[in-house]
Amino acid sequence: MTQSAPLLPAELDKMVQRFKRASEPKRRYEQLLWLAQKLEPFPDAGKVEANKVSGCVSQVYVTASLEDGKMLYCGDSDAQLTKGLLAFLIKGLSGTSPDRIVGLTPDFIQDTGLAVSLTPSRANGFHNIFKKMQALALALSNECKA
């Protein structure tokens, strides 16, 4: 690996590799739509302003909890591709320590091959979702240290 960024958490790396193997953008989109379908149902009670990801064209909600020192994320979106990106991040980051998540940079999206086929608004949405998940990890990490 030529990048100097920290190694990705195992599950996130597995997700990146799976998308990297998809030879064409259509296959990557199909994988995102499949992930969207597999996302756990999100309670309507969680669809409140505090859980909303700002800066997204779609309605996107993310919540997080800390169990045994590992982050667990839940979320939903009203747009299927965005929901797939959210599901990608939820699956890739859940089970990881908050400090590890806070230390990540979103460049791994380049390795998936998705970045080249995402519209600018979707790419921006992906970054906003990632930043929201990092902010939640930081908040929960700080609560534990307080």
Domain containing 48 — which CATH number?
3.90.1010.10
Give the tens place of pLDDT for each residue, 70-107: 999 999 999 999 999 999 999 999 999 999 999 999 99
Q: How many domains does the chain have?
A: 1
Q: Which of 35, 56, 60, 81 is catalytic?
A: 56
8 Å CB contact between 15 and 91: yes
Range of the domain at 119: 10-145
The answer to whether position 1 is within a domain reads no
- Tell me whether residue 56 is one of the annotated catalytic residues: yes
Mean pLDDT of the region 111-120: 86
In a domain, 64, yes or no: yes
Q: What are phi and psi of 65, to 5 degrees?
A: -140, 165
pLDDT digit string (tens) for 30-57?
999 999 999 999 999 999 999 999 988 8
Residue 5 maps to a domain: no
Residue 82 inside a domain? The answer is yes
Q: Would the pTM count as exceeding 0.85?
A: yes
